Amino acid sequence: MSKVMKILPVFLRTVASFKNDRRGLAAVELAMILPVMLLLFFGTVEFSSGVAVDRKVTLMARTLSDLASQSQTVADTDLVNYFSASVGIMTPYDPSPTKAQLTEVYVDATKIAKVKWTKAATIAAGATQATLSTSTRTNGQDVTSVIPSALLIPNTFLIFSEVSYIYTPAVGYVMGKDGINLSDVAYTRPRQSQCVIYPTPAAGTVTSCPTT
């Protein structure tokens, strides 16, 4: 019993010293707050980058349809240039996740919009020129449902572009690690003629706008 009585005061003093000891408090607080601070920091960076990329996707779609609408006829070389210029907007971000396609539709007298020609393009990692590819749309396809009702003007042509981009965050724990699909579309009326003819007809050939 006497030993217990001797040890008890020492134990109480030790407990009291721990209670009043502030050494290491800052380190403990930092260890608790640091993960939250890092999460907020990387989340802000990734969200800002995502917004910037999304804005560039919108600009790409508008540029692509605008360039195509300024021609009377287009050939594959023209389309490559249009797609390449549009994808260049993505700088300084990696352009390779970009998928873009350009389509001309004809709106008939009953306001039904059908594809007259369509072409797509991709760009390889490290490349500066786009490569033409097969569009997901087909000639003659009814696309009335994807055209805004205000643009369904009878007996008119319409150029519209579709751009999508898989944005992969550098820190997958903050946003979707598998990537986020960003996309946008743009619509433009032909500027120089009633329609934009593709492919460019042979020299001396007179080609009218296809309405059937």
Tokens 């369509």 belong to residue: 118
Residue 3: per-residue pLDDT: 55
For 160, other C-beta atoms within 10 Å of its C-beta total: 26
Q: Name residue 181's amino acid.
A: N
pTM over 0.85: no
CA dist 78 and 65 (Å) reads 13
Residue 4: per-residue pLDDT: 52
Cβ–Cβ < 8 Å for 209, 197: yes
Query: 20 pLDDT exceeds 80?
Result: no
Three-class SS of residue 199? coil
Cβ–Cβ < 8 Å for 85, 57: no
Query: Please, how many CA atoms are within 13 Å of residue 1, restricted to the half-sphere of its CB?
Result: 0
Strand partners, 86: none
**Where is 58: in which H helix or E strand?**
helix 25-69
Residue 38: per-residue pLDDT: 74
Better-scored residue on pLDDT, 198 or 29: 198
Residue 22: per-residue pLDDT: 62
Cβ–Cβ < 8 Å for 114, 82: no
With a pLDDT cut of 70, the percent of the chain lying above it is 82
Q: In this structure, what token pair is assigned to residue 115?
A: 């594809």
**Where is 131: in which H helix or E strand?**
strand 131-133
First to last CA, the chain: 109
For 103, other C-beta atoms within 10 Å of its C-beta total: 26
Better-scored residue on pLDDT, 4 or 132: 132
Q: Region 86-106: what's the mean pLDDT? A: 90
Q: Name residue 24's amino acid.
A: G
Query: 74 pLDDT exceeds 60?
Result: yes
